[in-house]
Amino acid sequence: MRQIFILMAVVFLVPASVAAQTVTVSGSVSETVALSVSRITLSGDDTQPSVIRVPLLVRSNSNFKISAVFESQTAELSEVSVVDVRANGSLVSPQVVNTVDTRREGDVVLRGPRISLGGTLNSPNNALQVTLLIRVKPQSVSGWTGQLALLGSPTQ
C-alpha cells in the first residue's frame, strides 16, 4: 500500500514538463551510373566492315560519362557513336534527352546530366535508352572477334 501512495504522490505532485526538441537528420547518396550492358563480344566471318547497333539503358543519379574501350587482335574499331537517345519512363529528368552530349572525345562516347529523378537501379521507368552504332573493320581474312567494354562513371 505504501508503494501505491508513493507512486500517486510522484504522479500528482511532481510537475510535468515537456520541452520541444529539434532533430536534424542528414545524409547523402553515393553517385551511381549503371549500364544495362558493360561488355559486348563482337565477331564476324566477313572481310568487309561490320556495322552493329546496340541498345543500352543508362541510369544515373548524377552527371555522368560513358567510355568505350575496344580490344581485338583481329579487328579495328573504326567508330562508336550514339545514334538515338530516348527517355524511358516518367522518372527520367525532362531535360536530359536534349542536353546529353554525343560528341566522341577520346574514349568517351556520351556525357550528360542526372537521368533518374527516383527509383532504383532496377526500376522500369527511370532510364535513358541509347542506341550505339559500332563499326568494326576486320584485319583478318579468316574471321574476327573483339570485346567492347563500356564504363559509366559520375562526373562533375
Report if pTM > 0.85.
no
Residue 113 contacts residue 96 (beta carbons within 8 Å): yes
Distances (CA, A) of 91 to 48, 69, 111, 132: 42, 30, 19, 23
Instruction: List pLDDT tens digits, range 31-80.
Output: 999 999 999 999 988 888 899 999 999 999 999 999 999 999 999 999 99
User: Is the predicted pLDDT of residue 28 greater than 80, yes or no?
Assistant: no
Closest alpha carbon to 62 in 31, 30, 85: 31
Quickly count: other Cβ atoms within 10 Å of residue 135's Cβ. Answer: 14
Quickly count: other Cβ atoms within 10 Å of residue 143's Cβ. Answer: 13
User: Is the predicted pLDDT of residue 92 greater than 70, yes or no?
Assistant: yes
Question: Mean pLDDT over residues 125-138, rounded?
Answer: 96
